[in-house]
Structure 1
Amino acid sequence: MLERQHELDPKQETIMVCRGGNRSGLACELPGEKGFNAVNMIGGMNEWTDTTV
């Protein structure tokens, strides 16, 4: 994250995703401390459903 943070817009929401939602929740901490709008996708890919189909 620190090496590539210049690629993110701190004004836009950045969604962190993992399989179950736990690791992505932890992954939100550092960007949040740096002023980024990082949010956890609760439930991760296990709970994700494609509503565009």
Structure 2
Amino acid sequence: MEATKMAIEAYCVKCKTKKEMQNPVESTTKNGKPITKGTCPDCGTTICRIGAIKK
């Protein structure tokens, strides 16, 4: 999957900075909007970014 090669940044609430997402996975919210979920490389918290992965 190409998503692992791309650098996707999202805000980490624990670190309080933007971090590069590890293991990004496309998903959808309850109301059907696209979201990208991954983990913070420093603290391991789940971080999310609204929107799909651009190809």
TM class, shorter-length: under 0.3
Of Structure 1 and Structure 2, the greater strand share is in 2
Greater gyration radius: 1
Q: What's the TM-score once normalised by structure 1's chain length? A: 0.26
Greater RCO (CA < 8 Å, at least 6 residues apart): 1
Of Structure 1 and Structure 2, the greater helix share is in 1
